[in-house]
A and B are shown apart, each in its own frame.
Chain A
Amino acid sequence: MRDRAQIARLPDSRRLHLHDGPIDLIVEAFGAAAEIEIAYRAAAERFVTVLDELCRELPLLRQPARSGGPQAVGVVARRMQAAVGPYCEQTFITPMAAVAGAVAEEILGSMTSAANLSRAYVNNGGDIALHLTPEESFVVGMVERPDRPSLFGTVELHSTQPVRGIATSGWRGRSFSLGIADAVTVLADRAATADAAATIIANALDLPGHSAVTRVPACDLAPDNDLGDHLVTQDVGELSPDEIAAALDAGVAVTELLLCKGLIRAAALHLRPDTRVVGVSVASEQLVADLEKSGRSLVHA
């Protein structure tokens, strides 16, 4: 709704801030000043109806995804369904797992189809859609815990690489998680795909039944949440190095599967002092160097 959404340039006057209900986007376009202006206008124009469109189909989007189930109507909703489609046969997932990435993609698309931009990004609370023209690149800083932003490394994404989506998931973040990962960051070709995959991997990085992990049915916390009575992680106590390794192993196993299927390009999995990087050729040697410099114990998976 036009009256509800907040649309403003940030104090740096370069970036655009779009806010509506739970959607909060930071947008930046690069190119000629006039093109940026056109892009931002297009982004704002598209943005004002996104939340209403999604809410119209919210009951469907909160249901577990299943192949052959009802098709959503909205373009963003359909993108969410498509992103979680590859997983719905094997595991519980709802299209909401890809909502942030799908919205980011939509706003990015509105800008790149309206204006000629060299680069652009739409950051939806850490789920990021990227646009890169030839010869362009982005440097992405990475944090290990979303609630405690402190950069531990960087990844350079170049236009020759296929990655145009980044997403992070973990129990400390804003959404509920079934696993115990501090953060799982995924690089994929698209933001919605990355978003769904990060959710899947973070859920898999787990120690089922461990007594140090506090879990609560999601509906006890938020009655209308899409996770229903699934147990979501609320706290993680002391873990031994072996337990941390076992949890990471479980996450890495799923990550490798997704990598083989071509669903993602790379992922970094964080739990306590350890980080595992999968698909390191994409994640760049810089990240590995940063990690080693920072003294984090790094395991190449």
Chain B
Amino acid sequence: MADDPIRCDACPVLCYIKPGRTGACDRYANHKGQLIRIDPHVVLDRALSRGDSVVPFLDPNRDWDGNIVSGPDMFVTAIGAGTTYPDYKPAPFIISSVVQGVDMVTVVTEGIFSYCGAKVKIDTDRYLGPETNLVRAQGEPVGHVTTSEYGSQMLSLGGVRHLTGGSRKEGTLTCETLLNLCDRKPVELTIDEGATVIVQAGKAPVVDGAREERMRVGCGSATIGMFAKQWHGKVDEVVVVDDHITGVLSEHQAGKLLGIPETGIEMKGRRSTPGRYFRVAEPGTAWGGTNIDDPLSILKEFDPKIAWPKLRLLMVSTTGEHYAYFELDEALRPVEKELPTALTESVARIKENCEPALSTVLFMGGAGGSLRAGVTENPVRLTHSVRDALTRVTCGGAPVYVWPGGGITFMVDVTRMPERAFGYVPTPALVAPIEFTLKLNDYAALGGYMDHVRPLDSILHGEGRRHLSANPENPWPLGRNQRPRSNE
């Protein structure tokens, strides 16, 4: 019966909880006869992140840093705020606080985003699959490969078509994939006619079982340009193997400038400009993002009219992860030798200049009219206010980039948000926090729900709040030293 107390078995206290009440821990509750875990409302605490050696008092989650803590050091995020959608009612929490003597309002809501997704940047030169091919999670299409960026492969995941336009299973798995990615959990994705990649926000990607360590410093040609001087005099020829542009030192402009003589090397692939070759091999997950394991397979025979015995040849990938050193024998055939100490350093230098490879996940969503209607009676004015940089948009307290043009379409780095910031509804759609912060008088001017504005103190009262320390790398959402801006 929904009216009866229920026995909570989450811990040995075995509380007998009445409907609408919580147990002794304040974490489990009886919701209409169901035992539920309360996801407390997240309150970012600026003081906590600075907190040092003073004794905490009363609230175990709250420290004192030596200053009298007051309103502006608290920012109420929308995580766990709930939503009034689709009732077109005022947002669940409209909070006022005073920042440097100016009354500020933060409208806090959780948006249900059917139009949302994740843009995933995977730092790798390895070939993940053809552009526009489907990306699958547990066999269901959840997105596609989009145009690659410098040193990275890009995936575009989610979106309304996968969430609600396909089969039920497709929608559910898309939702689950997005939720896991946004929660910084590892997700295995398979690309049609391509690789299987494990993606986790802020962690190195794993492509076909191989963990990606480094992101290339430049293409093969650029690498020649950067390191030509360091190779001069220590080696006769260098080939930097790259799926995009393979560079050859002696033919490259940088080699010419140093007066490096021709070596009679003959490359496979298509020559673009001197010393720069396209498509020396097929894309893959081996040397420099190609499919080759034997670097010599991209070379033709040396020109006997130019090459000479004992010619010294270094072959290296754009990340320095693969390298091999050869000397030509009397028949002008390359014979692999141990890398001379003089060259070890330059290979290490290439490696050093390649930054750690990461997968990064940006959540992207659009605040629809009904969500904006929770902020103001005249939703378009909120859009204008964001455009005019009078209203700052944050997502779980993290800065967002608001896309130019109509609507409020924003992107946020999920690693800058508090953990467990996202949820979902069975639609399926993602639930993400969104906060709009602006001056109280600006809020009144755009038709805000002034009679629903309540002071910060009132939200800190009561159950169901989760106190978090603010991420010190994020600008403080209430921006006490600056005008609120929509973008950071």
List residues of chain A with CB under 8 Å of any chain B CB: 1, 4, 11-12, 14, 20-22, 24-26, 51-52, 55, 58, 121, 123-126, 128, 138-143, 146-152, 166, 168, 172, 174, 220-224
CB B219 to nearest CB in A, in angstroms, measures 40
Contact A124 B60 (CB under 8 A): yes
Residue in A22, A147, A151 whose CB lies within 8 Å of B460? A147
Shortest distance in angstroms between B133's beta carbon and chain A's nearest beta carbon? Answer: 40
Residues of B whose CB lies within 8 Å of any CB of A are 5, 10-18, 21, 23-26, 49, 51, 53-62, 64, 68-70, 457, 460-462, 469
Is there an interface contact between A223 and B18, defined as CB atoms closer than 8 Å? yes
- In the complex where A149-B62, A174-B26 touch, is A21 in contact with B57 (Cβ < 8 A)? no
Q: Which of B16, B57, B457 contacts A141 (CB 8 A)?
A: B57
Question: Which B residue's beta carbon lies closest to that of A125?
Answer: B60
Contacts of B55 in A (CB 8 A): 121, 123, 128, 138-141
Chain A residues closer than 8 Å to B68, beta-carbon distance: 150-152
Known: A121-B55, A141-B54, A148-B457. 15 other contacts (CB 8 A): A20-B11, A22-B25, A26-B61, A51-B11, A123-B56, A125-B59, A128-B57, A140-B55, A141-B64, A150-B68, A151-B64, A151-B69, A222-B15, A222-B17, A223-B16
On whether A22 and B24 interact (CB within 8 A), knowing A147-B461, A148-B461, A150-B69, the answer reads yes
> Which of A4, A20, A149, A220 is the most central at the interface, judged by chain B CB atoms within 10 Å of its CB?
A149
Q: Are B69 and A149 in contact (CB under 8 A)?
A: yes
- B16 to A224, Cβ gap below 8 A? yes
* Residues on A with beta carbons closer than 8 Å to the beta carbon of B14: 55
A43 to B70, CA, bound (A): 33
Measured CB to CB, the nearest residue on chain B to A220 is B18
- Distance, CA A90 to CA B59, complexed state (A): 31
Q: Are B57 and A140 in contact (CB under 8 A)?
A: yes
In the complex, what distance in Å separates the CA atom of A182 from the CA atom of B453? 25
Which residues of chain A have C-beta atoms less than 8 A from B62's C-beta?
149
Option from A11, A24, A149 in Cβ contact (under 8 Å) with B58? A149
Which of B23, B54, B58 sits near A168, CB closer than 8 Å? B58
Residues of A within 8 A of B60 (CB): 24-26, 123-126
B397 shortest CB reach to chain A, Å? 15
Check B21–A222 contact: CB distance below 8 A.
Answer: yes
Known: A150-B70, A151-B64. A22 touches B59 (CB 8 A): no
**A200 to B215, alpha carbons, bound, how many Å?**
65
A14 to chain B, nearest CB (A): 8
B59 CB contacts on chain A under 8 angstroms = 125-126, 143, 146, 149
What total of A-B pairs shows CB separation below 8 Å?
Answer: 102
Closest to A4 in B: B11
B469's contact among A11, A21, A125, A224, by CB below 8 Å, is which?
Answer: A11
Residues of A with C-beta under 8 A to B64:
141, 151
Min CB gap A298→B, angstroms? 17
Query: Which 7 residue pairs spanning A and B have beta carbons closest together?
Result: A21-B11, A55-B12, A126-B58, A22-B24, A141-B64, A22-B25, A224-B16
Cβ-closest chain B residue relative to A26: B60
Chain B residues, Cβ within 8 Å of A14: 53
Q: How far is the CA of A22 from the CA of B53 in the complex (A)?
A: 26
Chief secondary structure at chain A's binding surface = mixed
Rounded to whole angstroms, the CA-CA distance of A139 and B13 in the bound complex is 34
Whether A143 pairs with B15 at a CB distance below 8 angstroms is no
- Among residues of A, the one whose C-beta sits closest to the C-beta of B8 is A21
State whether A26 touches B25 (Cβ < 8 A).
no
CA–CA, A51 and B25, complex, Å: 12
A273–chain B nearest beta-carbon distance, Å = 15
Known contacts A21-B11, A222-B15, A142 near B56 by CB under 8 Å: no
In the assembled complex, which residues on chain B have CB atoms less than 8 Å from the CB atom of A221? 18, 21
Interchain CB contact under 8 A, B57 and A142: yes
Q: Could you tell me the distance between the alpha carbons of A121 and B60 in the complex, rounded to whole angstroms?
A: 12
How near does chain A come to B29, taking the closest CB pair, in angstroms?
12
Instruction: Evaluate contact between B11 and A12: CB separation under 8 angstroms.
Output: no
B57 contact set on A, CB distance < 8 A: 123, 126, 128, 140-143, 151, 166
Distance in angstroms from B55 CB to nearest chain A CB is 5
Can you pick out 19 interface pairs between chain A and chain B where the beta carbons lie within 8 Å of each other? A4-B11, A21-B13, A24-B25, A26-B61, A51-B12, A51-B13, A123-B57, A128-B55, A140-B55, A142-B57, A143-B58, A146-B59, A148-B460, A148-B461, A149-B460, A172-B461, A222-B16, A222-B21, A223-B18
Q: How far is the CB of B49 from chain A (nearest CB, A)?
A: 8
- Which residues on B sit within 8 Å (CB–CB) of A148? 457, 460-461
Q: Contacting A139 at CB < 8 Å: which of B21, B54, B58, B61? A: B54
A198–B16 CA distance with the chains assembled, in angstroms? 26
Asked whether B26 lies within 8 Å of A146 as measured between CB atoms, the reply is no
Contact B12 A52, beta carbon cutoff 8 Å: yes
In contact, A21 and B16 (Cβ under 8 angstroms): no
Contact A222 B13 (CB under 8 A): no
Inter-subunit contact B13/A26 (CB<8 Å): no
Residue of B nearest to A142 (CB): B57
B56 touching A26 by the CB < 8 A rule? Answer: yes
Closest to A157 in B: B55
A220 to B20, CA, bound (A): 12
A52 proximity list for chain B (CB < 8 A): 12
Chain A residues positioned under 8 Å from B70 (CB to CB): 150
- Chain B contacts of A172 at CB under 8 A? 461
Cα distance A142–B460 in the bound complex, in angstroms: 17
Closest Cβ neighbor of A21 among chain B residues: B11
Which of A22, A139, A146, A223 touches B5 (beta carbons < 8 Å)?
Answer: A223
Residues of B within 8 A of A151 (CB): 57, 64, 68-69
Report A286 CB to chain B, min CB distance, Å.
13
- Report B-chain residues with C-beta under 8 Å of the C-beta of A20: 11
- A236–B20 Cα distance when bound, in Å, is 21
Q: Which residues of chain A come closer than 8 Å to B24, judged between CB atoms?
A: 21-22, 222
- Could you say which residues of chain B place their CB within 8 Å of the CB of A142? 57
In the bound assembly, the distance between CA atoms of A126 and B125 in angstroms comes to 54
Complex Cα distance A1/B12, Å? Answer: 9
In the complex, chain B residues whose CB is within 8 Å of the CB of A126: 57-60
Bound Cα distance from A223 to B3, whole angstroms: 13
Alpha-carbon distance between A39 and B183 when the two chains are bound, in angstroms: 33
Task: Let me know if B23 and A22 touch, CB within 8 A.
Answer: yes
CA distance A226 to B14 in the complex (A): 14
**Residue from A26, A51, A126, A151 having most chain B Cβ neighbours under 10 A:** A151
